[in-house]
Structure 1
Amino acid sequence: MKKILVLTAAALFATSGLTFAQDTVVVEVPQSARDYVIANPSDPVVIDDELSQGYVVPEDVVVREIPESPGYGYIYVEGRPVIVSMNDRRVVYLSDAGGPSAGSAFPDEVITYVEKHPSDPVVIEGELTTGVVVPADVPLVEVPDQPRYSYIYVDDRPALVERETRRVVWVR
């Protein structure tokens, strides 16, 4: 029973934007802040240490402010958004890495579907590579029976996108 309660609580925090900082204070990161960060990716930052909730971002790392969410800023590390408290520079939210780089490969039938159902091409700024976050104004095409993934075509290249983070996880 305890195991089920702990797993249920963990699932709630993972999906709600509630996180634990290092001193076990619950921090609720507004959905609007998470949406802004996903829609406005920044240049990647290299962090040599293991990044986790409560990690204090070094002073030499530039943290971008979130305009509509005073007190929060963000960085991108290895293609994923990281939200930081501007008061103490502690990580208060980082997206689940997910995708194949974290060892959870997507099903082959997803790639087959994407390649057999090309969509109208979209335009994104910069090079289309794994880890790029697709801006919020770019429409994603859903993959049937796969709530985790959507896709886009840029020029004639298909790209699989993790729906929650809008991060590209595969490109042909």
Structure 2
Amino acid sequence: MKKVFIVTAAAFFATSGLAIAQDSVVVEVPQSARDYVIAHPADPVVIEGDLSQGYVVPETIVVRPIPESPGYGYIYVDGRPVIVSMEKREVVYLSDNAGAAPDDGAIPDDVVSYIETNPTDPVVIDGDVTMGTVIPDDVPLVAVPDQPRYSYVYVQDGPALIERETRRVVWVR
């Protein structure tokens, strides 16, 4: 019964914007801060080990400030927004949609077929292009016909499907 309660509580906190910091204080992350982080994605960073509430982000990782919520900053890990307390550099909120494609996460088969049968010249992007990577603004995207949500590029290893609005990779081959 105790395990069921813990899982239920964890699910509640993950979806509500509430978090338990390391010292067992409940922190409510403002919705405006969460909205800002989603609207302003950042290049992903690599975290060694398990990322969870209360994890202290190393000083070597740049935490971007959230302008209207000065006590908070953010990073992206595996395509997942993570909100951090600027004072202690502790994780106070993790999005539960890690690396997910928009909505239900399903990429339409016709979109995949289209980009695989219509290759383009590959572009060079520094670093690995994985789910959640933000494609730089200076990289031209190719539109997917009849799919206003998606564009694509070919990178060194193959095609990458991009959510046009955020320029975030939602699928790679």
Gaps of at least 5 residues in structure 1 are 1-13
Equivalent of 1:29, from 1, 12, 33?
33
Partner of 1:84: 84
Shift of residue 151, structure 1, vs aligned partner = 1.1
Distance 1:30 1:169 in 2: 20
* Number of equivalent positions: 148
Which structure 2 residues correspond to residues 37-52 of structure 1 after superposition, within 5 A? 37-38=41-42, 41-48=43-50, 51=52
Shift of residue 129, structure 1, vs aligned partner = 3.6
Partner of 2:56: 58
Distance 1:26 1:128 in 2: 30
TM-score by length of 1: 0.60
Over the residues paired in the alignment, what is the CA RMSD in angstroms? 3.8
Distance 1:117 1:59 in 2: 41
Partner of 2:6: none
- Percent identity of paired positions between Structure 1 and Structure 2: 48
Higher Rg of the two aligned structures: 2
- Is this contact kept in 1: 2:84–2:91, CA < 8 A? yes
Runs of 4+ in 1 over 6 A off after TM superposition: none
Would the alpha carbon gap of residues 104 and 34 (structure 1) be closer, same or farther in structure 2, given more than 3 Å must change? Answer: closer
Which structure 2 residues correspond to residues 10-25 of structure 1 after superposition, within 5 A? 20-22=17-19, 23=26, 25=28
Matched, 1:118 2:119: yes
Secondary structure of the 2:162 match is strand
- Is this contact kept in 2: 1:151–1:161, CA < 8 A? yes
